[in-house]
């Protein structure tokens, strides 16, 4: 059965867990940028009952995959499908992803499954904090899973690469999901050049939430928020960030708001900043580069 909402409340998930729903698959997506293994450690210390852990670096990206040379290229759909099937996920399962960071990590798994055609996938609204507040239990028990039968699309869609994006700058609404100081070029802890892609609008993901690491804002508020960023449903929207992970928080928020799905620049600033392309600094989006 196709799920209509990309979000699931802690109360709804708690009821499913307590009912013993055999088609429920919970995925712990906790991960810390620059700290390999931190998510797996957090999972081992305690996670939702029945949850497995999938790691951004090891399971949701492939250094030789689609969209290289960004820091988190997508794996091939075939490899991704095989990995999730081995983890016990099948065609008829409801997959619920969660994290402890407002959903931006879990959104990567949500988007990957959604864009490849899995009909029932959601992100826990409010994440781990909402689960605990609703009275949910934690466990250190690792579930014993059997491989699932999973069939997904064989090609990624709703994606754009650097060359195509460069040709369309000024004709698309480009949202930069990174924190404002990185957008303005005041700091750059990871990538080689500070600043943002010309024409990109600063759209930090915390603005999608009621509070940092909290639940998403109501749909009407999200519509107004994205409208202020130039999203009106008529112009194509491209989301980017540092490496194609947090950008998908906007895809999740736009789906929750009933807005058209955006396009993902997979390589994002990690690709753009390594390519020799022009970079803008300061609070303004800047003009499109001159085409030769």
Residues noted as catalytic:
241
Task: Report d(CA 268, CA 112) in Å as an integer.
Answer: 16
Helix axes 247-256, 106-115, angle to 10 degrees: 70
List C-alpha distances in Å: 1 to 34, 92, 93, 258.
Answer: 38, 7, 9, 19
Count CB-CB contacts under 10 A for residue 75: 21
HEC letters along the chain: CCCCCCEECHHHHHHHHHHCCCCEEEEECCCCCCCCCHHHHHHHHCECCCCEECCHHHHCCCCCCECCCCCCCECCHHHHHHHHHHCCCCCCCEEEEECCCCCCCHHHHHHHHHHCCCCCEEEECCHHHHHHHCCCCCECCCCCCCCCCCCCCCCCCCEECHHHHHHHECCEEEEECCCHHHHHCCCCCCCCCCCECCCCEECCHHHHECCCCCCECCHHHHHHHHHHCCCCCCCCEEEECCCCCCHHHHHHHHHHCCCCCCEEECCHHHHHCCCCCCCECCCCCCCCCCCC
């Amino acid at each position: 059965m196709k799920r209509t909402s990309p979000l699931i409340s802690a109360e709804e998930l708690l009821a499913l867990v307590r009912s013993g729903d055999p088609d429920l698959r919970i995925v712990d997506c906790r991960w810390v940028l620059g700290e390999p293994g931190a998510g797996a450690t957090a999972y081992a210390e305690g996670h939702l009952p029945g949850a497995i852990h999938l790691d951004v670096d090891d399971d949701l990206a492939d250094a030789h995959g689609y969209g290289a040379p960004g820091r988190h290229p997508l794996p091939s759909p075939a490899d991704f499908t095989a990995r999730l099937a081995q983890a016990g996920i099948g065609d008829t399962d409801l997959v619920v992803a969660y994290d402890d960071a407002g959903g931006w990590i879990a959104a990567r798994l949500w988007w990957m499954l959604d864009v490849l055609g899995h009909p029932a996938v959601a992100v826990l609204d409010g994440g781990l904090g909402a689960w605990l507040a609703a009275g949910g239990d934690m466990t250190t028990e690792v579930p014993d899973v059997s491989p699932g039968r999973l069939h997904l699309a064989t090609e990624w869609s709703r994606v754009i690469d650097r060359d195509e994006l460069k040709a369309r700058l000024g004709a698309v609404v480009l949202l930069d999901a990174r924190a404002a100081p990185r957008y303005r070029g005041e700091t750059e802890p990871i990538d080689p050049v500070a600043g943002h892609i010309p024409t990109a609008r600063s759209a930090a993901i915390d603005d999608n939430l009621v509070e940092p690491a909290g639940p998403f804002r109501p749909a009407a508020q999200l519509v107004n928020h994205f409208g202020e960023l130039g999203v009106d449903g008529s112009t194509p929207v491209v989301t980017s960030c540092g490496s194609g992970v947090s950008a998908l928080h906007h895809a999740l928020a736009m789906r929750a708001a009933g807005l058209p799905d955006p396009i993902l620049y997979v390589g994002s600033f990690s690709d753009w900043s390594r390519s020799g392309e022009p970079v803008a600094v300061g609070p303004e989006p800047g003009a499109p580069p001159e085409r030769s």
